[in-house]
Amino acid sequence: MPNLFTLVLQITVILATCRLVGSLFRKIHQPRVVGEMFAGILLGPSLLGWVAPHFSAYLFPASSLGFLNALSQVGVVIFMFLVGLGINPKELKHQSHAAVLVSHVSITAPFVLASLLALYLYPRLSDNGVSFTNFALFMGAAMSVTAFPVLARILIEREMMHTRLGTIAIACAAVDDVTGWCILAYIVVLIRAAHQSASIWITLGGILAFAAVMIYGVRFLLRGYERTFRKNGAISENGMASLILLAMISALCTERLGIHLLFGSFLMGAIMPKEPKFVRYVLDRFETVTITLLLPLFFAFTGLRTNIGLMKGPNMWFYCALIILVATGGKLGGSTIAAWLSGMQVREAAGLGTLMNTRGLMELVILNIGMDIRVISPALFSMMVLMALFTTFMTTPALELICPDYSLRATPKKKTAVPEVELQEIA
């Protein structure tokens, strides 16, 4: 049984710290999520555990972390459902050449560069319990992700959502997320299958069958929610409860199939009806608790796993700088070149590259999966968390520098991959 006093005390301290640091970051024109990610690190061994080890041990005793993790994972399961809900696959089918090229290059460029970097890092930051292929593939997937919700938030704040840049960026981020999760699912299957008695083909077959049932079967049944919403303008409490239930069941199925809980909830969100008002309605019901209560717990748990103290000596900081350089070069550089080759002006192309380099919360989710399946070491995890923070933090000032008055040149309002108001608070 959890010590309830400790658990409630932890939640109180985490929420207070996240709100405070998040508000401070808003004052310097950063999305709140960056501040909350930073707050998580402040509460971990990198700061609190370092300056006040006894208080840290009292507040976060090792025996209590399992409960904190469980709560935070529930939050991430719901969050991934909401992220999937925000992605509209129909819109992705009608991308321009520029969007197709940029989205694919923004995956392949960081992926290949990360794999090259893995050649250097594997003998230094990994061990022979992890195969090079798994290590390199994971590094590639982790570096090629784009934070779809954070990106949406930045575009809305800068009134760029309906510009050509905003439209392409949001479509590319959606493609990146879907592709990134598919790659990650494959890696998780590979790693877990090596330790399970069932053949990898049985696992893969099960996953494909599950995805087919969801896309070609369950998706059509879910239209009933949209019909009810159109008819009544609302969904009953039972209806909302069944939505969460379906997301949880889907999450359990993917976990049981050998991938991860989060893939199931993401898939359930992705196949939900996409009528903008319906999406907004569902988001409104779930966002507050998820964003203000559960996600800060995830940031804190990630922060507790992040130990900058593990990066001892100039070598470790050199590896960290190299990771940031490769991640930024691959994502920002690759996207910029692809956009420029597609006919965009250099500034506009660089702006798109900067937006695609936003990793935010999605990166933390992927890194935590990497730690759970033990494909990355604690020191590498800490370096990658710093990379996620750095690349997310740099987006707003870099965009200000590259496209200072872009929104003034906005094109007429145009339908985008996500409804305008979606996911704004998540970011």
Catalog residues that contact other proteins under the rule CB under 8 A: 57, 62, 97, 100-101, 104-105, 108-109, 111-112, 115-116, 118-119, 122-133, 136-137, 140, 191-192, 195, 310, 312, 316, 334, 337-338, 341-342, 372-374, 377-380
CA distance 173 to 145: 8
Instruction: State in angstroms the smallest separation of the CB of 25 from other proteins.
Output: 29
Residue 418 is inside which H or E element, if any? none
DSSP three-state, residue 108: helix
Nearer to other proteins, 258 or 296 (CB): 258
| Angle in degrees, CA 403, 386, 6, rounded to 5 | 125
Report helix angle 237-256 to 261-270, nearest 10: 130
Instruction: State in angstroms the smallest separation of the CB of 330 from other proteins.
Output: 10
DSSP secondary structure of 146-196: --HHHHHHHHHHTT-TTSHHHHHHHHHHHHHHHHHHHHHHHHHHHHHHTTS
Task: Report which of 183, 147, 110, 175 is spatially closest to residue 370, judged by C-alpha positions.
Answer: 183
Nearer to other proteins, 80 or 376 (CB): 376
CA distance 167 to 153: 13
Nearer to other proteins, 272 or 316 (CB): 316
Handedness of CA 357, 363, 367, 373 (dihedral sign): negative
| Angle in degrees, CA 83, 267, 374, rounded to 5 | 85
Instruction: State in angstroms the smallest separation of the CB of 301 from other proteins.
Output: 17
Nearer to other proteins, 63 or 232 (CB): 63
Backbone angles phi, psi at 171, to 5 degrees: -65, -45
Instruction: State in angstroms the smallest separation of the CB of 113 from other proteins.
Output: 9
Nearer to other proteins, 123 or 404 (CB): 123
Instruction: State in angstroms the smallest separation of the CB of 165 from other proteins.
Output: 19
Instruction: State in angstroms the smallest separation of the CB of 210 from other proteins.
Output: 20
Nearer to other proteins, 24 or 100 (CB): 100
Nearer to other proteins, 319 or 406 (CB): 319
Tokens representing residue 91 in the block: 């819109």
For residue 415, give every residue at least 6 positions away whose Cβ sits within 8 Å of its Cβ, in sequence order, or none.
Answer: 91
Q: Which long-range contacts (CB under 8 A, 24 or more apart) does 13-18 make?
A: 13/43, 13/59, 14/39, 14/40, 14/43, 14/296, 14/297, 14/299, 14/300, 15/292, 15/293, 15/296, 17/42, 17/43, 17/300, 18/296, 18/299, 18/300
Instruction: State in angstroms the smallest separation of the CB of 412 from other proteins.
Output: 23
Instruction: State in angstroms the smallest separation of the CB of 111 from other proteins.
Output: 7
Nearer to other proteins, 149 or 333 (CB): 333
> Residues 201-218, buried b or exposed e (16+ Cβ, 10 A)?
eebbebbeebbeebeeeb
Handedness of CA 219, 368, 292, 172 (dihedral sign): negative
CA–centroid distance for 164 within its chain = 24
Nearer to other proteins, 297 or 338 (CB): 338
Instruction: State in angstroms the smallest separation of the CB of 159 from other proteins.
Output: 30
Nearer to other proteins, 115 or 163 (CB): 115
Instruction: State in angstroms the smallest separation of the CB of 192 from other proteins.
Output: 6
